[in-house]
Amino acid sequence: MRYDIIADPIRGRWYLDACWAADKVMLPTPDEIKASGARLLGVDLNADHLAAAVLDAHGNPLGEPMTVPVDLTGPADTRDGRLRAAISNLITLAHEYGCAAIVVENLSLPTPATPDGRPWGEASAANTSTEP
């Protein structure tokens, strides 16, 4: 712990700043968590909610699924606040159910193709040309 005491004679005030550093903690890898047999909180991303379920080490659901609503409409600050609240809810659920990690789906779907077989991004770029 370090303290800095600073005098400001113009304002007639003293300031106290404190800083500290915590020991670095080595977090377990996903393989180590899986090998430990710990519970996980599995999360599925949906358009208007997060579907969550407590999972055993093999990915099997334990108990009933849970829903965390997410309304991402409105101004950016509002959406950010709602997203933070949803993430906080997931962390709370993981803590309440003794989960060692939160696992979020990663579908890694290929980029969809247009009817003529071109990737959507390529087709969109071709359609925005200003040439006659």
Domain residue limits at 95: 25-104
For the chain, how long is the longest CA-to-CA vector?
Answer: 75
Based on the structure, what is the number of domains in the chain? Answer: 1
Q: Is residue 16 assigned to a domain? A: no
Q: Is residue 76 assigned to a domain? A: yes
Q: Is residue 63 assigned to a domain? A: yes
Helix H or strand E encompassing 31: helix 30-36
Q: Is residue 100 assigned to a domain? A: yes
Q: Is residue 2 assigned to a domain? A: no
What would the pLDDT profile of 29-63 be if each residue is shown by its tens digit?
878 888 888 999 999 988 889 999 999 888 899 99
Q: What is the CA radius of gyration of the chain?
A: 24
How many Cα atoms are found within 13 Å in the side-chain-facing hemisphere of 91?
Answer: 6
Alpha helices in the chain (DSSP H): 30-36, 76-96, 120-127
pLDDT reported for residue 34? 80
Q: Is residue 44 assigned to a domain? A: yes
Question: What does pLDDT average to over the chain?
Answer: 84
51 by Cβ neighbours in 10 Å (0-12 / 13-18 / 19+) ranks as: middle
Question: pTM for the complete prediction?
Answer: 0.61
pLDDT reported for residue 129? 45
Q: Which position has the token pair 């993430």?
A: 87
At 90 the three-state DSSP class reads helix
Asked if the model's pLDDT at residue 115 lies above 80, the reply is: no
Q: Is residue 129 assigned to a domain? A: no
CATH code (residue 30)? 3.30.420.40
Q: Is residue 40 assigned to a domain? A: yes
